[in-house]
Amino acid sequence: MLRSLHMKLVLIMVLLVVSLMTIAGAFLVNSVNRFFLNDFYAQMSEVFGEPAFVRDLTTPKEGETDGVQALDQVLQAYVGELGVDGRNRDYYILDGKTGSYLAGSDDKNGPYLEMTPNLLCAMNQGEEGNRSDMTAAYLDLAIPIQRGGQDYIIYILDQRATVQELNSQIFQLIIEALFFGLVISVLLSFLLSRAMVTPIGALTRGAKRVAEGDFDHRIQVSSHDEIGVLTGAFNDMAGQLQTTIQEVENERTKLSTLFLHMTDGVVAFNRSGEVIHSNPAAEEMLNMPIPVGGAVGYDDLFGEIASLDTVLNLEGDCLDSETVRGDRILLLLLVPFDREKQAGVLAVIHDVTQQVKNETMRKEFVANVSHELRTPITNIRSYAETLAENPDLPPDMMASFLGVILNESDRMTHIVRDLLALSRFDSGHSEMNLTEFPFGEVLRDSYQAVLLEAQRHGHVLKLMGDGDLPAVRADRERVLQVIMNILSNAIKYTPDGGRILMMAGRTQDRVWLEVEDNGIGIPKEDRERIFERFYRVDKARSRESGGTGLGLSIAQEIIQRHEGVLTLVDREGPGTTVRMELKIGGPQL
């Protein structure tokens, strides 16, 4: 850059100096030539305009025999005025008809004179030949005269030696000036290029640093010329660039944070189907790593739903489809972005597993509720109809029918009560009345409450480990309700003469209770669903024993509200063990 700019400047200066010198030289030479030309003819016309001289030339002396000699004498008398020096300028007396040499100041060259246009003009037309151009090698003048009836031509020839000498001096001068001019121009161009290149160099270094990403760098503005203005503009541009890049960076960070924490999965593909972006949610939903630019591409992930070309050329906004991946149900939106350029495709993945599950559960729940309520209503109606149609039924039969009606309406009341309780939990309207009470006390109360019923069925009911239990913070009534539910299930689902154990204990921050029976047990496949609403292992049996299938769901809700745990203990052998855990300090409400 420096070299090239320097060379350019040198070249410009050299060309400038050379052309200036050439023009000046040409003007000078031209002027000198013209001056000499004009001076020569002016001098000649002055001398030949003198009447005395003309008379001397044209009038023969008395008794003159040799006209040529007489002319020669006249001309010799005038050599001073004519500037004839016998070296550069000579006079010649020529024959007016043939132009042959008769006499003159230069005998040596006289006989060999060249027939110049001026000479020919004087010879042929008898007129004064006094024209010459500046480029000719000589200056001449041919004047035809008559003397004593004889025609002569007075011919003055100047070899222009003075002019040529002067020209060569001018030429030499110009060459010298050119030499000095070139030296000065090289020096000047060097200084000039330094003056220009230094700030340009600073600008270039600054531009490089900015190009490398150092947007804080500012170049010092050291002059107010165009380069100074350019430097200022560059600094402004770098500042502007810094702000813009910062804004873009902020926007990018915002977007990637958003992507990172989005619950929806997002995968972006370029037009060739390579992954250009993916977030953790997408990897989790599709259950595979999706590295950017990795081996996994569009076709591997969504090829079976729609080809990349189809999505890129989509007419509508997006293509949506539901797909099942593993145990998840995913709603997939495929959107082409930057449509005109067909830049790529964005896949937005929404996990609708829970939604679909909830919807199914809601439908099942509604079906269950209607079924559960329809059975007692049908029973009540048919017994009531029988009673209404047969007023004469025996009193004991009537009493038994009425008993069924009362039982069924009790069942309905239970169901409705349990449903209301659940709905209150669902809507969050169920207030918790948290108090501190000894856990062992609730165990003993529930033990006492079911003891009679257990004995009625011939069960052995035992309470163990209740002695050394701390006080807990919980809703006493509800905890009691849960324990009673577990105990009454144990009594219900254990054939008479069974054994029911209540075992309690504590860990560092929890108390626990396990109710173990040796009853009919719960088959493995039903264990997971036992806490679902209306779920019962053996519907007929459960209904027979007055169960609604809602007891454990409610119990589960209550314990969860206490941030505790209610589970079935996985164990070998017949019977069932239900475990309940509660935080000693109570829930963090």
Q: Which of 548, 562, 564, 566 binds ligand ADP (CB under 6 A)?
A: 548
State the minimum distance, in angstroms, from the CB of residue 304 to ligand ADP. Answer: 42
Q: Which stretch binds ligand ADP (CB under 6 A): 79-87, 212-220, 331-339, 548-556?
A: 548-556
Q: Is residue 576 involved in binding ligand ADP (CB under 6 A)?
A: yes
* Nearest distance in Å: CB 362, ligand ADP: 19
Residue/partner pairs of 414-421 with CB below 8 Å, 24 or more apart:
414/546, 414/548, 415/369, 415/372, 415/373, 415/376, 415/548, 415/550, 418/548, 418/550, 418/551, 418/554, 419/369, 419/550, 421/554
* CA gap 221, 197 in Å, rounded: 14
Which is closer to ligand ADP, CB of 151 or CB of 453? 453
By C-alpha distance, which of 446, 555, 481, 573 is closest to 519? 573
Q: Smallest gap, in angstroms, from Cβ of residue 370 to ligand ADP?
A: 17
Q: Binding to ligand ADP by residue 520, rule CB under 6 A?
A: yes
| Nearest distance, CB of residue 449 and ligand ADP, angstroms | 16
**Minimum distance between the CB of residue 473 and ligand ADP, rounded to whole angstroms?**
26
Among 344, 440, 498, 551, binds ligand ADP (CB under 6 A): 551
SS3 string, 31-86, reads HHHHHHHHHHHHHHHHHHCCHHHHHHHHCCCCCCCCHHHHHHHHHHHCHHHHCCCC
Q: Closest approach of Cβ 465 to ligand ADP, in Å?
A: 20
- Give the span between the Cα atoms of 469 and 421, in whole angstroms: 30
Instruction: Give the range of 39-47, 66-74, 431-439, 514-522 binding ligand ADP by CB under 6 A.
Output: 514-522
Q: Which is nearer to ligand ADP, 302 or 531 (CB)?
A: 531
The minimum distance between CB 264 and ligand ADP, in angstroms, equals 36
- Choices 149-157, 335-343, 403-411, 547-555 (CB under 6 A): range interacting with ligand ADP: 547-555
> Dihedral of the CA atoms 175, 180, 182, 185 (nearest 10)?
-150
Q: Whats the size of the chain, residue-wise?
A: 589
> 185-207: string of b/e by CB count within 10 Å (b at 16+)?
bbeebeebbeebbebbebbeebe
Q: Mask 472-501, x = binds ligand ADP (CB under 6 A)? A: -------------x---xx--x--------
Options 314-322, 427-435, 463-471, 540-548: segment touching ligand ADP (CB under 6 A): 540-548
Q: Which of 90, 517, 557, 581 binds ligand ADP (CB under 6 A)?
A: 517
Nearest approach, Cβ of 560 to ligand ADP (angstroms)? 15
C-alpha distances (whole Å) from 287 to each of 265, 266, 328 are 11, 14, 10
| Dist CA 182 CA 201 (whole Å) | 27
State in angstroms the smallest separation of the CB of 506 from ligand ADP. 24
Both structure tokens of 338:
């930057």
Cα 381 from Cα 385, distance rounded (Å):
6
Question: Are β-strands 460-464 and 499-506 bridged in parallel, bridged antiparallel, or unpaired?
Answer: parallel
**Residue with smallest beta-carbon separation from ligand ADP:** 547
- Give the 3-state secondary structure of residue 196: helix
User: How many other C-beta atoms can be found within 10 angstroms of the C-beta atom of residue 358?
Assistant: 12
Among 32, 530, 580, 582, binds ligand ADP (CB under 6 A): 530
Number of residues in contact with ligand ADP, rule: CB under 6 A? 22
User: Considering only 133-141, 151-159, 376-384, 551-559, which stretch makes contact with ligand ADP by CB under 6 A?
Assistant: 551-559
Candidates 130, 185, 189, 542; binder of ligand ADP (CB under 6 A) is 542
Q: Exposed, middle or buried by CB within 10 Å (0-12, 13-18, 19+), for 469?
A: buried
Each residue 552-571 as x (binds ligand ADP by CB under 6 A) or -, in order, gives xx------------------
Cβ 532 to ligand ADP shortest distance, Å? 9
Instruction: Name the minimum Å distance from CB 453 to ligand ADP.
Output: 14
Query: Using an 8 Å Cβ cutoff, are 533 and 553 in contact?
Result: yes
433 token code pair: 């009345």
Q: Does 538 bind ligand ADP (CB under 6 A)?
A: yes
Strand order in the sheet with 265-270: 275-278, 265-270, 344-351, 328-337, 319-325
**Burial (CB count within 10 angstroms: exposed 0-12, middle 13-18, buried 19+), residue 43:** middle
Would you say 403 or 574 has its CB closer to ligand ADP? 574
User: Given candidates 160, 476, 536, 562, which one binds ligand ADP under the rule CB under 6 A?
Assistant: 536
User: What residue ranges bind ligand ADP (CB under 6 A)?
Assistant: 485, 489-490, 493, 517, 519-522, 530, 536-538, 542, 547-553, 576
